Amino acid sequence: MRTQVAIIGGGPAGLLLSQLLHKAGVASVVLERRSREYVLSRIRAGVLETGLVNLMHEAGIAERMDREGFIHDGTLIANGNDQFRIDFKELTGSHVMVYGQTEVTRDLYEARDAAGATVMHECSGVKPHDLTTDAPYVTFFHEGAVHRLDCDFIAGCDGFHGPCRQEIPLSVRREFEKVYPFGWLGVLSETPPVDNELIYSNSERGFALCSMRNANLSRYYIQCQLSDTPDDWTDDAFWDELRRRIPEEAADRLVTGPSIEKSIAPLRSFVCEPMQWGRMFLCGDAAHIVPPTGAKGLNTAASDVNYLWRALVAWYKDGERGGIDTYSETALARIWKAERFSWWMTTLLHRLPEQSEFDIRMQDADIAYLQHSTAAQTAMAENYVGLPY
Ligand code: RFL
Ligand code: PHB
């Protein structure tokens, strides 16, 4: 088999890259380890920056998002019962789109199918070879046979646990990591959201987030112990704890119901440098992870895709290799800013096990500054809606 770009990983990064390349006349093959049903059953991010929304338009997959997604012009921040709003529209002229990652992925699969693209599921033993030559290739098992895919370039869109990052020799690879001493317990329920905007809440009992997918589908999170399992939390225990962590007037309005999904995610900040090695380029979670507090996971994957797609198209259409050579540098410059913002939002809003009274006063002062300073709100809003590509 031969293609121009071999894409390892059929999550949002890999599929979006494949679709954008297709629109520009560049061929690709996507190799995914899991079944399509499995990929589509993962409940993850829900907030899209304008940059990603624009890429979806460019990729020709925005129709359902434009119809069913919700534009949010602001968000609510709470500290105990104190609540204030950050007005994205007034402060930045921009907004975010609330539309689930699962829906983005579904729209991408449909577009790839409609274009007759090759997306191979349940591939195992995927391995890139000869990355520092002009003729890289990938080997893998599929339906009981060994396959070889020759290509010009390889995109490693294989998530945090994928094999591509490991191909960068240890002598050049640097990894930066911070693991947070708590997790997020998330619940999806077929109930109307408690507010028409998101509520990020710091409380004495820990962090809580009220989010949504649509008018009758809510997504809620609470900070939990890393040792907790979803089975430790009955639905009633979850709702009780959530009520205690959000402002009273919101707790009074909260509509509860059975959970239709319940999961725990650990929180981590991680960056791998460089993001390219020879003819292989890393995109998304394969290269970096953010804690979900700033809603940046999917959005940083999209910004990598933006740079890589443009660089590859410039190579194929104009023989221009500047974008390819500087991909890692360009992508990392934006990634580190998203890492900083996600770390800051996480530190601002969570209770840490070793936090002293002084640390809590610092957190309170930071939130009060955000509440009363237009400069601080503008900085928060500009990062939340997404820094320019
Ligand atoms: P993905 O979505 O992990 O996709 C990578 C794909 O690569 C496949 N793969 C392989 N394929 C072939 N061969 C191999 N050896 C392979 N190994 C792995 C995987 O099966 C998968 O399909 O990464 P991508 O495309 O970079 O997209 C990034 C986003 O998915 C991610 O940043 C966000 O979802 C992060 N994230 C969240 N972000 C938010 O902004 N808000 C959230 O609420 C939020 N919740 C989450 C999350 C990530 C989670 N993970 C990774 C455990 C909740 C969870 C549980
Ligand atoms: C979500 O809706 O899943 C969501 C929203 C905002 C975040 C994280 C997760 O910061």
With tokens 């974008």, the residue in question is 323
Range of the domain at 311: 5-72+97-177+268-345
Same-domain check for residues 123 and 241: no
SS3 assignment, position 183: strand
218 touches ligand 2 (CB under 6 Å) = no
295 touches ligand 2 (CB under 6 Å) = yes
Same-domain check for residues 256 and 374: yes
Same-domain check for residues 105 and 129: yes
Same-domain check for residues 260 and 274: no
Same-domain check for residues 148 and 196: no
47 touches ligand 2 (CB under 6 Å) = yes
Sequence-distant (6+) residues with CB within 8 A of 111 are 19, 59, 60, 61
Q: Summarize pLDDT for 234-248 with one digit per residue, the tens.
A: 999 999 999 999 999
Same-domain check for residues 275 and 303: yes
Q: Summarize pLDDT for 174-220 with one digit per residue, the tens.
A: 999 999 999 999 999 999 999 999 999 999 999 999 999 999 999 99
Given this model, what pLDDT does residue 136 score?
98
Same-domain check for residues 43 and 128: yes
CA of 274 to the centre of ligand 2 (A): 28
Same-domain check for residues 103 and 118: yes
Same-domain check for residues 261 and 292: no
The structural domain count of the chain equals 2
292 touches ligand 2 (CB under 6 Å) = yes
Same-domain check for residues 111 and 32: yes
Same-domain check for residues 47 and 148: yes
User: Does residue 369 sit within a domain?
Assistant: yes
Smallest CA-to-CA distance from 32 within 109, 101, 102 is with: 109
**Ligand 1 atom 21, closest CA:** 11
To test the pocket of ligand 2, the residue of 219, 343, 344, 380 to mutate (highest count of ligand atoms within 8 Å of its CB) is: 219
pLDDT tens for the chain, 389 residues long, are 999 999 999 999 999 999 999 999 999 999 999 999 999 988 888 999 999 999 999 999 999 999 999 999 999 999 999 999 999 999 999 999 999 999 999 999 999 999 999 999 999 999 999 999 999 999 999 999 999 999 999 999 999 999 999 999 999 999 999 999 999 999 999 999 999 999 999 999 999 999 999 999 999 999 999 999 999 999 999 999 999 999 999 999 999 999 999 999 999 999 999 999 999 999 999 999 999 999 999 999 999 999 999 999 999 999 999 999 999 999 999 999 999 999 999 999 999 988 999 999 999 999 999 999 999 999 999 999 999 99
Same-domain check for residues 143 and 14: yes
Smallest CA-to-CA distance from 80 within 368, 369, 385 is with: 368
SS3 assignment, position 40: helix
Given this model, what pLDDT does residue 43 score?
82
Ligand nearest to the CA of 335: 1
Ligand nearest to the CA of 123: 1
User: In CATH, what number is assigned to the domain containing residue 210?
Assistant: 3.30.9.10
**Ligand 2 atom 6, closest CA:** 295
